[in-house]
């Protein structure tokens, strides 16, 4: 039986952390026969993720990448095209969460750092992917936003601002490149059981406890829940889907 991503080349950023969304996405795409390049500023961590996927039969390599560096994007994209001749899927997953109340001394530094990584990193990556995908007749760009890019979260104004920006620039780029068979969509995870969310919960425990208690599905999400949504957007099954936002949150923002 033909796998859903057979012959497609995918780049997934932010794949070092485990449990993490990027690692889960890289594994899921590889399971469907994608050729996967997983990147992270933590090269050793990305290499460990790649090794674990390779042990299961996946075709995956790891590269070091700082997503805030335009030079890194140029070098990584050039390497992907040199090694594989095309790019079909980009998953801009790399991101950070820095919880800081609006009146704290850390509020503005947190805002700037999250815009560097979450917004500019995804923006430069999208720009690089569009250029690469034009060479091979199209592709799918999947930008990871958050439910915090859709609704407010107490104590997370800077993070919400960054993720809201990801949502809207993605829609704008989707309109710009739709006629070129390049699709751009966003995925908005809810509270997912990852290392990053654990760190946020440690510094904002009361708010996180209230959020978890309010999830209609009655549980935190798993990285695999996000990976399965990304798989659909990476595959040809979503060929008529662009400029859309996919919420994977156990019903939290439906209330």
pLDDT for 40-61, tens place per residue? 999 999 999 999 999 999 999 9
Residue 155 β-bridge partners:
none
Distances in Å between the Cα of 210 and the Cα atoms of 192, 213, 214, 221 are: 15, 5, 6, 15
> What is the per-residue pLDDT for 143?
99
pLDDT, average across residues 104-115: 95
Residue 145 β-bridge partners:
none
pLDDT tens, position by position, 111-123: 999 999 999 999 9
In a domain, 137, yes or no: yes
Dihedral of the alpha carbons of 173, 229, 158, 198, in degrees to the nearest 10: -160
CATH number at residue 159: 3.40.50.720
pLDDT tens, position by position, 189-204: 999 988 766 655 555 6
Q: Tell me the chain's radius of gyration from C-alpha atoms.
A: 17
In a domain, 1, yes or no: no
Average pLDDT, the chain: 94
Q: Is the pLDDT of residue 125 over 90?
A: yes
Please tell me the number of Cα atoms within 13 Å of 238 on its side-chain side.
26
> What is the per-residue pLDDT for 251?
97
> What is the per-residue pLDDT for 212?
79
**Residues that are catalytic:** 159
In a domain, 51, yes or no: yes
pLDDT, average across residues 146-158: 93
- The 8-class DSSP code of residue 254 comes to G
As a whole number of angstroms, the longest Cα–Cα distance in the chain is: 57
Distances in Å between the Cα of 100 and the Cα atoms of 39, 76, 144, 157, 162 are: 28, 32, 21, 8, 13
> What is the per-residue pLDDT for 213?
85
In a domain, 255, yes or no: no
pLDDT, average across residues 173-198: 92
Range from 70-74, 101-105, 225-229 carrying the lowest mean pLDDT: 101-105
Spell 65-103 as b/e; 16+ CB within 10 A means b: bbbbeeebbeebbeebbeebebbbbbbbbbbbbbbbeee
In a domain, 237, yes or no: yes
Q: Is the pLDDT of residue 237 over 80?
A: yes
In a domain, 18, yes or no: yes
CB contact at 8 A, 233 and 241: yes
In a domain, 2, yes or no: no
User: Per the structure, how many domains does the chain have?
Assistant: 1
Q: Rounded to two decimals, what is the model's pTM?
A: 0.94
In a domain, 24, yes or no: yes
Q: What is the domain extent for residue 232?
A: 9-250
């Amino acid at each position: 039986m033909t796998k859903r991503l057979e012959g497609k080349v995918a780049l997934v950023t932010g794949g070092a952390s485990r449990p993490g969304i990027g690692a889960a996405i890289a594994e899921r795409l590889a399971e469907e026969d994608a050729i996967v390049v997983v990147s992270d500023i933590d090269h050793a961590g990305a290499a460990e993720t790649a090794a674990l996927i390779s042990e299961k039969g996946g075709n995956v390599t790891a590269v070091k990448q700082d997503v805030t560096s335009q030079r890194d994007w140029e070098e990584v994209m050039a390497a992907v095209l040199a090694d594989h001749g095309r790019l079909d899927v980009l998953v801009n997953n790399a991101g950070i969460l820095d919880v800081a109340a609006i009146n704290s001394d850390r509020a503005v530094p947190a805002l700037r750092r999250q815009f560097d990584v979450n917004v500019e990193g995804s923006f430069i990556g999208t720009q690089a992917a569009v250029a690469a995908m034009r060479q091979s007749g199209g592709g799918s760009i999947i930008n990871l936003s958050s439910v915090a890019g859709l609704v407010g979260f107490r104590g997370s104004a800077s993070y919400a601002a960054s993720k809201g920006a990801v949502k809207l620039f993605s829609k704008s780029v989707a309109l710009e490149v739709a006629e070129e068979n390049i699709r751009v969509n966003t995925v908005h995870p809810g509270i997912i059981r990852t290392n990053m969310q654990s760190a946020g919960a440690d510094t904002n425990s009361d708010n996180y406890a209230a959020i978890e208690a309010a999830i209609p599905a009655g549980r935190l999400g798993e990285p695999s829940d996000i990976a399965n949504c990304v798989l659909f957007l990476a595959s040809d099954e979503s060929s008529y889907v662009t400029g859309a936002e996919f919420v994977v949150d156990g019903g939290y923002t439906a209330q």
